Chain A
Amino acid sequence: MALKTWKELPIGCVVFEPGSASEYHTGSWRSQRPVWDNQKCIKCGICYVFCPEGCVQQTEDGFFQADMDYCKGCGICAHECWPKAIAMKEEE
C-alpha cells in the first residue's frame, strides 16, 4: 500500500471506507510468534478467547492457529494456555 503525501490526505483524515483497518497488517510489529504444539493442545479455545486482536482461529481439525498478518506477538495466548501448548518463538 503506497503511503499518501500530506497533500493527498482527506480533510481531517476522515476514513470513508468502512473496515479499511484490515488493510493495516499489524503483524509487522511482531518480534515473537506463537507456535502451537498440537500434541499438548486440548482444543479448549482459551487462546481464541483471550487473543486481544481476535486473530486466533480454529481450524477444521479443531486445533488453533493465529493469522500472522495481524498477530502482534503479544504472547497472551501462550501465557493463558494452561496445558502449555503454545510457545513464543523469536522471529528471524
Chain B
Amino acid sequence: MGKRIGMEVAVAVAEAVGLCNIDMAAVYPITPQSHIAEHLSDLVADGHIDAEFVTVESEHSAMSAVIGASGAGARSFTATSSQGLMLMHELLPIASAMRLPICMAIANRAVSGPLNILNDHSDIMPQRDSGWISIFVENGQEAIDMSIIAFKIAEHKDVMLPVNVNIDGFQLTHMVEPFEMPSQEEVDKFLPPFVPHATLHPARPVTMGAFAMSDYFAEIMKAKDEALKNSKKVIVDVWEEWGKMFGRNYKLVETYKAEDAEVLMLTMGSMGETAQMAIDQLRAQGMKAGLVKLRLWRPFPFEEIKAAVKNAKKLIVTDRACSFGGPGGPVFSEIKSAMYAEAQRPLIYNYIYGLGGRDVPVNDFTGMFEKVMGDTANKLADTYEFWGVRE
C-alpha cells in the first residue's frame, strides 16, 4: 500500500520517477535545474535505483542523450525548466517525430529577459507545436501521479510519443505538501516493462532519424499529427485505470461548480486551487460562478472543452504567458479557436496574470469575475488584458 507522507514536491517527483524502473536519466545538473534532478541523482548514487545518471554540459545535450538512450530501448527521463527548456527546443520535435516515449518533468519558470527565474508558463508555450503530449498538474499529488502515469501513456503501443509534465516552478515544486506515495509493488503492477517499437542494436541494424525530402515530409507530419490526436483516447483510458487502482480520478477537463454557472473561469496548472477558493466566495455572495481546469494542453481536448463551457454566458480564460503581438494568451487563442464554429458559446475574456512569479491571491480572481460581470455592454469580450499591471 502507498503511504501518506509530507515532502517537497520536487523531491517527491524524483521519488515517484524512482519507482518507475527507469534505465537512465540525462540532466543538466545546475540552474535552471530543480530538486527533481538533484534528488534523482541521490537515488541513483545511493543505490536505490539501478539506472544510468548522465550529467551533461547543457540541456541541448540532455535531450540529445535521452533521445539516443530511448532509441536504444531505455526508459529515459529528464527534467528542466525555463532557459533549459528553451535550449532543448531544437530537439523536442525530433523526439516526437522519432516516436520516442521520453518523459520530462518541467518546473515551469519564466523565460528571460529580463532574467527572472520565477513561475509562469512562458517556457512551455514556445514548445507547444513540438509534438509532445503536454500535461499540466495542479498540486503535489497530481505531480507525483502524472510523473508515473506519463511513462504508461508515452510507452503505450498506440501512442509512442514523448510526454512532458508541467509542474509550476516554486509555487508547486518548492512547496512541502502532504500526499500519498504509491508503493513499489503498486507501481510495478501499474507500469509494465517498456517494449520499444524498434531499438538501436548492432545485431539488428536499423536507421532512426533518417533524411526525408519533400516527397515524404508532409506524410510524416500528418502521421505525427494523427498520432498525437489519437493519444487522447489512451490518456483517458490510462487515467481511468489509475483511478481504479489508486482512487484518484483525473479527467482531461475538470469542472468545479460549473454546471449552472453563468460566468466560468478557466485555469491551467496550480492556480486552479486559488481560483476554486474565489469560486466559493463568489457563490457565497450569490454569484453563479464556476471553474474549468484544463489538465491536457496537447493533444488539446476540443470536445471536452466545448461541453464544459458551452452553457455559460461568459468565460474568463486565464493565461500565464503572452503571445506577443498576437491574440493575447495562448490558452485564450486555443479556446476561441475551439468555440469559433459553435452556435452556442460564451463571450470570452482573457486575463494574463501571475507573470514572473507574481502572487495571485484569491481577490485577484474575484476581481476578474467582478470586472467581467460589470461589463454589461460586453465591450471587453474578445480582448485581453495584463491583469494588475501598473498603468
Contact = CB atoms under 8 A, between A and B. Distances in A.
Interface of A: 3-7, 9-16, 18, 20-21
B208 A14 contact: yes
Interface stretch (B95-103, B163-171, B310-318, B379-387): B95-103
B100 A12 contact: yes
19 contacts: A3-B215, A3-B216, A3-B219, A6-B219, A6-B222, A6-B226, A7-B223, A9-B223, A11-B197, A11-B198, A12-B160, A13-B98, A13-B212, A14-B98, A14-B208, A15-B208, A15-B210, A18-B206, A18-B207
Interface in B225-248: 226
A4 B198 CA distance: 20
Interface residues of B, number: 20
A74 B216 CA distance: 24
A12 B212 CA distance: 12
A7 to B, nearest CB: 8
B374 interface: no
Interface string B90-124: 00000001111000000000000000000000000
Nearest to A5: B219
Given A6-B220, A18-B205, A12 B99 contact: yes
A11 B160 CA distance: 8
Contacts of A3: 215-216, 219
Nearest to B210: A15
B207 A14 contact: yes
A12 B197 contact: yes
A56 to B, nearest CB: 22
A11 B97 CA distance: 9
Contacts of A20: 207
Contacts of A10: 198
Contacts of B208: 12, 14-15
A11 B210 CA distance: 13
A5 B198 CA distance: 21
B195 to A, nearest CB: 12
